[in-house]
Amino acid sequence: MALLKKAQIQTGETIAVVIIVVFIIVLGIVFYFNFMSGTIDEDRQRASDLDSVSTAIFVSKLNELKCSRAASASFICFDLYRVKAFNESLNEPMIGSVYHSLIGYANATIRTYYPEQGKEYTFYSYEPSNITGERSSFIPVLLSDPVENKKYFAYLEVKVFS
Amino acid sequence: MKKAQIEIVGLLVIVILVVLVLFFIISFSLSNQSDTPDITKDFIDHSLINGFSLALLETSSGCAERNFKELLDDCVTNQMVSCYIEGSQVNSCVYAKHEIEKILNDTLLEMGVDYSFRVSVTGMGEQMRIETEECEISPIPYDFADFALRQGFRQVHIFLRAC
């Protein structure tokens, strides 16, 4: 009887040890996969941020849009009439496809704040049929109207779609 | 090997496993906390503040066909230029301050960025200050731009700080 009891205790001990070991292994696996999925999400987010910023920089540096008078390298100056002409030229399928291959799915809009607020010029718009996400970058720019001899304080918003 | 020794070895294996799991948890947590640069934020802050100040200075002020740089030059020198705010005649300093504050509020403050804008002249000290309460309190800027414009023998400093 005593021998049977001892054997039962030993079996119980073995079962307890196995349960603890399995618990520890499961805990480790769960933690590892949680961590990995978090890292993947973070990397994806960072890649998306980088893509958005690099597209914004690319758009802001387009020589086709810049003011004819050499502006300072430290800030961006767009010529209003070049912006309008650029937008019209994108209606040509060949030109449109060239810029689409360079910029990708994005929206680029210049919004004025001063001296007149609320003027909007969207000069590039290429949206995917199925938008899963979007990120916007804002860059302060000068929008020059050489005909009216006015320089607007404006923001360039580049919205990148994914 | 005696039975008691075997049990001790079993116990040791469990302890080693627990230590290993804890070690992995701590090492993963620490590597996760490492500071990775926020590219977007850095870019936005830098381009926002630097580009902002320079674009602002070149903007048409709406007074006497001058841009803000020329208006501030006049403000810190002889104040010859007269401007109008809602029909009232004011000097270039009052006008520049009023309009720059409007721009800063419509843009930076609207985006949730507190600011401090100052104009000072070497030898004459601060000539203009426009700032939000938050920026007045906060001693540490997260980005700032400081430009020097030459005006005769003096230097005009335009300082914009985001808080």
pLDDT band at B140 (very low <50, low <70, confident <90, very high): low
* Pairwise CB contact (< 8 Å): B51 & A141: yes
| Distant-in-sequence, close-in-space partners of A108: CB < 8 Å, separation ≥ 6 | A59, A122, A123, A124, A125, A156, A157, A158, A159
Measured CA to CA, the distance from residue A125 to residue A49 in angstroms comes to: 19
Q: In chain B, which residues have their Cβ closer than 8 Å to the Cβ of A114?
A: 59, 62, 99, 102-103, 106
Q: Is B140 on the interface with A (CB under 8 A)?
A: no
Instruction: Closest CB to A21: pick one of B14, B52, B59.
Output: B14
pLDDT (tens digit per residue) in A27-45: 888 888 887 877 788 888 8
Q: Which token pair is B131?
A: 């700032």
Q: In chain B, which residues have their Cβ closer than 8 Å to the Cβ of A150?
A: 60
Measured CA to CA, the distance from residue B29 to residue A31 in angstroms comes to: 10
**Residue A138: inside a domain, yes or no?**
yes
How many beta-carbon contacts under 8 Å exist across A and B? 100
Q: Which token pair is B62?
A: 């709406």
- Residue ranges of the domains in chain B? 49-162
- Strands (E) across B8-153 are located at 60-63, 66-67, 82-85, 88-91, 115-121, 125-131, 143-151
**Residue A142: inside a domain, yes or no?**
yes
Please check the confidence at residue B2 and state whether its pLDDT lies above 80: no
Of the candidates B60, B97, B7, B27, the residue with the CA atom closest to the CA atom of residue A10: B7
* Pairwise CB contact (< 8 Å): A115 & B59: yes
Instruction: Closest CB to A140: pick one of B25, B55, B67.
Output: B55
**Mean pLDDT within A41-53:** 83
Pair A142, B55: CB distance under 8 Å = yes
Q: DSSP letter at B109? A: I
Of the candidates B154, B157, B125, the residue with the CA atom closest to the CA atom of residue B144: B157
Q: Is B87 left (phi over 0), alpha (psi -120 to 50) or beta?
A: left
Q: In chain A, which residues have their Cβ closer than 8 Å to the Cβ of B112?
A: none
- B27: exposed, middle or buried (Cβ count in 10 Å: 0-12, 13-18, 19+): exposed
Q: Is A65 left (phi over 0), alpha (psi -120 to 50) or beta?
A: alpha
Please check the confidence at residue B146 and state whether its pLDDT lies above 90: no
ipTM score for this prediction: 0.75
Q: Which residue of B has its CA nearest to A39?
A: B32
pLDDT (tens digit per residue) in B90-127: 999 999 999 999 999 999 899 888 888 988 888 888 88
Q: Is B56 on the interface with A (CB under 8 A)?
A: yes
Give the pLDDT of residue A132: 87
**Residue A134: inside a domain, yes or no?**
yes
**Mean pLDDT within A57-64:** 92
**Residue A139: inside a domain, yes or no?**
yes
* Pairwise CB contact (< 8 Å): A137 & B43: yes
Q: In chain B, which residues have their Cβ closer than 8 Å to the Cβ of A50?
A: 39-40
- B77: exposed, middle or buried (Cβ count in 10 Å: 0-12, 13-18, 19+): middle
Measured CA to CA, the distance from residue A156 to residue B24 in angstroms comes to: 46
Nearest C-alpha of chain A: how many angstroms from B25?
8
Q: Is B45 on the interface with A (CB under 8 A)?
A: no
pLDDT (tens digit per residue) in B41-97: 666 566 678 888 889 999 999 999 999 999 998 998 889 999 999 999 999 999 999
pTM of the model: 0.77
How many domains does one find in chain A? 1
What is the domain extent for residue A99? Answer: 40-161
pLDDT (tens digit per residue) in B9-45: 877 887 887 788 788 777 766 666 555 556 666 665 6
Measured CA to CA, the distance from residue B121 to residue A112 in angstroms comes to: 30
**Residue A76: inside a domain, yes or no?**
yes
- B149: exposed, middle or buried (Cβ count in 10 Å: 0-12, 13-18, 19+): middle
